């Protein structure tokens, strides 16, 4: 339900939408279709030509402010839900947000520390280095002379987020209620994911912890460098991190001037991605050019990346590891039957899906692509076609894979920008084959044993007692089963005896009743006084009664 507090914001949103020519999009909704005739009364539409709808949506989100920009960035990952032209435009959204006052930033930092800045920093640059939706970054120098950057959360951003999220939730509920196609798009689910993501980014302690873990994962690697976090000076609203100096990854001309091998750089980016996903199950999920740099001091054939901004990270469970790697290898080997089987086994498509039909649909998508030279294959285009095919088979969106898909598309885009002939498939396939061998081969078994050995050694001294207790429990269970079997046999015997007594009583009663009916109202004094036809009728009556009271063997 839209509250009174939302009305002013809603009015602003409507004005921005009209200014960017989005009235036709609004009037296309089923709820407003009866009002489409009003278009002829809109003077601004008579002569003005508007750009494509994707461009209009992107510009409107940029004008509406940081929360809507961030929401558009999240939507740009959902090629499984939105038309391709809109997703392509939303992927161009950047955090071009005006900075807030440097003096206000100093106040926030001092309030977080409970002390003046002079007790922590020799120098704090008032002018920000960068400004984004959630926070902005200032250069500073610690008392010991260490150069650092200080990330500060925007003042009042929490209340702005809550206000706009309330409005987005209200709009999503209305869409599900009035738009027939909304059940497939799951708008409330999308807003809920966005809610979680943006609240995670508000907590800089969480981001600092993410950065520390990623740094440990690559501390001995020459592929990726992650700046150190200064925990003594980091809190929920302020994070202090080592300052790095690098070349932005999309600045190709500067990279060339420094003699960096762009082909190797692109291939190393792919290797970093697959290492994070399959070795560590923890990957940087916001790898746009503003967050990725190249170390200028490592030119030549061993270039090194530098990563920053760890507010959005992805994780995967071991079972997802297995299915992902197996799917990738099956795709590389063009084993579409195995791809279809893996989708059913993993539950990504309903259990009743016909594997042969799904295999045929996947082959139809993939074969035309694989017939092209490998360096011309776009993984993004392949994913888009597969999403469209999967919808026919009720393939469910896997939330744990959404960030992975987005990150892989970013990696491919960056790699091809650096080296247009980048062969993502050829670069990734050896890594995946090696990873699968390590997981399911002898090395994988030894690795699991080594990992579980401390737990086994802890339980080993107690093993004799556990075995003794287990044998005692087994003996007690055997005795109890024997007792129950004897009790069941006794009960069956008693039931047979009772049945025999019941049968005899029924036969006697039937004979007496029948004889009485034949001879009149008075019963015979002796059984010998009953004529033969009385005995026959009594026997028939007894048989009928027995049939009625005897349980069926089929039951």
pLDDT mean over 480-505: 78
Residue 83 belongs to a domain: yes
Same domain, 36 and 167: yes
The whole-angstrom separation of Cα 481 and Cα 479 is: 5
Report yes or no: 339 and 327 within 8 Å, Cβ to Cβ.
yes
Segment 424-440, tens digit of pLDDT: 777 777 777 777 777 66
The whole-angstrom separation of Cα 537 and Cα 547 is: 15
Report yes or no: 373 and 406 within 8 Å, Cβ to Cβ.
no
Our answer to whether residue 286 is catalytic in this structure is: yes
pLDDT at 84 over 80: no
Residue 205 belongs to a domain: no
How deeply is 128 buried, as exposed, middle or buried, from its count of CB atoms within 10 A (0-12, 13-18, 19+)? buried
Same domain, 487 and 345: no
Residue 125 belongs to a domain: no
Per-residue pLDDT, 435: 73
Two tokens, residue 511: 């004979």
> E strands within 385-425?
none
The whole-angstrom separation of Cα 41 and Cα 502 is: 94
Residue 78 belongs to a domain: yes
Per-residue pLDDT, 52: 83
Per-residue pLDDT, 195: 83
Segment 263-304, tens digit of pLDDT: 899 889 888 988 898 888 899 988 877 889 999 988 777 899
Boundary-marking domain end, from 406, 440, 474: 440
Band of pLDDT at residue 204, cut at 50, 70 and 90: very high
DSSP one-letter code for 346: T
Return the closest-CA partner of residue 164 out of 187, 197, 191, 204. Answer: 191
Same domain, 370 and 483: no
Residue 186 belongs to a domain: yes
pLDDT mean over 8-33: 65
Nearest-10 crossing angle of helices 532-549, 463-519:
150
Report yes or no: 156 and 135 within 8 Å, Cβ to Cβ.
no
In sequence order, which residues have a C-beta less than 8 Å from that of residue 245 and are 6 or more positions away?
A: 296
Same domain, 436 and 471: no
Same domain, 511 and 478: yes
Same domain, 260 and 394: yes
Q: What is the DSSP string of 156-182?
A: THHHHHHHHHHHHHHHHHHHHHH-TTH
In sequence order, which residues have a C-beta less than 8 Å from that of residue 271 and are 6 or more positions away?
A: 223, 427, 431
In sequence order, which residues have a C-beta less than 8 Å from that of residue 149 and are 6 or more positions away?
A: 129, 137, 138, 139, 140, 240, 241, 242, 243
Task: Pick the more confident residue, 439 or 102.
Answer: 102
pLDDT at 185 over 90: no
Two tokens, residue 267: 């291939």
Per-residue pLDDT, 146: 94
pLDDT at 70 over 80: no
Same domain, 427 and 313: yes
The whole-angstrom separation of Cα 465 and Cα 471 is: 10
pLDDT at 147 over 90: yes
Residue 390 belongs to a domain: yes
Same domain, 189 and 253: no
Mean pLDDT comparison of 14-23, 210-219, 344-353, 507-516, highest-scoring range: 210-219
Per-residue pLDDT, 10: 65
Same domain, 356 and 500: no
How deeply is 171 buried, as exposed, middle or buried, from its count of CB atoms within 10 A (0-12, 13-18, 19+)? middle
Question: How far is residue 552 from each of residues 327, 540, 555, measured CA to CA in Å?
Answer: 55, 19, 5
pLDDT mean over 488-503: 77
The whole-angstrom separation of Cα 397 and Cα 404 is: 12
Same domain, 436 and 373: yes
Band of pLDDT at residue 553, cut at 50, 70 and 90: very low
Report yes or no: 362 and 339 within 8 Å, Cβ to Cβ.
yes
Q: How many domains does the chain have?
A: 3
Q: Look up the domain containing 519 and give its range.
A: 463-549
In sequence order, which residues have a C-beta less than 8 Å from that of residue 518 and are 6 or more positions away?
A: 530, 531, 533, 534, 537
Share of the chain above pLDDT 90, in %: 18
DSSP one-letter code for 400: H
Return the closest-CA partner of residue 268 out of 234, 301, 228. Answer: 301
pLDDT at 554 over 50: no
pLDDT mean over 542-555: 53
- Which one is catalytic: 164, 237, 286, 295? 286
Average pLDDT across the chain, whole number: 77
Same domain, 426 and 386: yes
The whole-angstrom separation of Cα 91 and Cα 410 is: 10
Same domain, 93 and 186: yes
Task: Pick the more confident residue, 217 or 364.
Answer: 217
Poorest-pLDDT segment among 75-84, 281-290, 385-394, 490-499: 75-84
pLDDT at 21 over 60: yes
Residue 103 belongs to a domain: no
The whole-angstrom separation of Cα 410 and Cα 417 is: 11
The whole-angstrom separation of Cα 412 and Cα 375 is: 11
Band of pLDDT at residue 555, cut at 50, 70 and 90: very low
Band of pLDDT at residue 152, cut at 50, 70 and 90: very high
Per-residue pLDDT, 218: 94
Residue 391 belongs to a domain: yes
Per-residue pLDDT, 280: 87
Band of pLDDT at residue 372, cut at 50, 70 and 90: low
């Amino acid at each position: 339900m839209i509250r009174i507090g939302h009305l002013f914001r809603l009015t602003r949103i409507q004005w921005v939408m009209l200014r960017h020519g989005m009235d036709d999009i609004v009037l296309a909704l089923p709820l407003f279709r009866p009002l489409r005739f009003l278009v002829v009364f809109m003077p601004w539409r008579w002569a003005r030509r508007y750009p494509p709808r994707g461009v209009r949506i992107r510009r409107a989100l940029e004008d509406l402010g940081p929360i809507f920009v961030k929401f558009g960035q999240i939507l740009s990952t959902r090629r499984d839900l939105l038309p391709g032209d809109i997703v392509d435009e939303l992927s161009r959204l950047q955090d071009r947000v005006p900075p807030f006052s440097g003096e206000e930033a100093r106040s926030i930092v001092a309030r977080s520390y409970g002390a003046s800045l002079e007790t922590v920093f020799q120098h704090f640059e008032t002018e920000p280095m960068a400004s984004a939706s959630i926070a902005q970054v200032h250069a500073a120098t610690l008392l010991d002379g260490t150069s650092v950057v200080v990330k500060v959360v925007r003042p009042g951003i929490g209340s702005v987020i809550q206000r706009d999220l309330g409005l987005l939730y209200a709009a999503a509920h209305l869409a599900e209620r009035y738009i027939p196609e909304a059940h497939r798009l799951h708008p409330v689910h999308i807003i809920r994911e966005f809610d979680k993501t943006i609240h995670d980014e508000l907590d800089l302690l969480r981001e600092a912890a993410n950065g520390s873990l990623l740094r440990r994962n690559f501390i001995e690697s020459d592929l990726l460098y992650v700046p150190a976090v200064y925990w003594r000076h980091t809190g929920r609203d302020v994070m202090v991190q080592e300052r790095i100096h690098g070349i932005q990854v999309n600045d190709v001309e500067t990279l060339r001037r420094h003699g960096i091998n762009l082909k190797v750089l692109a291939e190393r980016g792919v290797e970093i991605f697959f290492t994070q996903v399959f070795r560590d199950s923890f990957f940087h999920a916001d790898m746009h050019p503003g967050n990725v740099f190249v170390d200028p001091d490592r030119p030549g054939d061993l270039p090194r990346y530098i990563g920053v901004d760890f507010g959005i990270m992805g994780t995967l469970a071991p079972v997802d590891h297995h299915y992902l790697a197996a799917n990738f290898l099956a795709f590389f080997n063009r084993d579409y039957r195995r791809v279809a089987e893996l989708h059913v086994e993993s539950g990504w498509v309903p259990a009743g899906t016909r594997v042969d039909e799904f295999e045929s649909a996947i082959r139809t998508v993939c074969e035309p692509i694989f017939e092209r030279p490998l360096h011309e294959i776009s993984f993004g285009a392949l994913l888009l076609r597969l999403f469209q095919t999967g919808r026919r088979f009720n393939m469910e969106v896997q939330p744990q894979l959404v960030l992975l898909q987005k990150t892989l598309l970013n990696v491919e885009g960056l790699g091809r920008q650096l080296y247009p002939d980048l062969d993502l498939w050829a670069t990734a396939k050896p890594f995946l084959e090696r990873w699968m061998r390590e997981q399911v081969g002898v090395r994988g078994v030894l690795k699991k044993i080594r990992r579980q050995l401390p737990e086994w050694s802890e339980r080993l001294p107690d093993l004799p007692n556990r075995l003794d207790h287990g044998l005692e429990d087994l003996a007690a269970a055997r005795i109890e089963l024997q007792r129950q079997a004897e009790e069941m046999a006794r009960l069956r015997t008693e039931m047979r005896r009772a049945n025999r007594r019941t049968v005899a009583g029924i036969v006697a009663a039937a004979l007496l009743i029948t004889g009485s009916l034949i001879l009149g109202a008075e019963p015979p004094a002796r059984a010998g006084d009953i004529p033969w036809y009385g005995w026959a009728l009594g026997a028939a009556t007894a048989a009928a009664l027995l049939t009625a009271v005897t349980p069926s063997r089929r039951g």
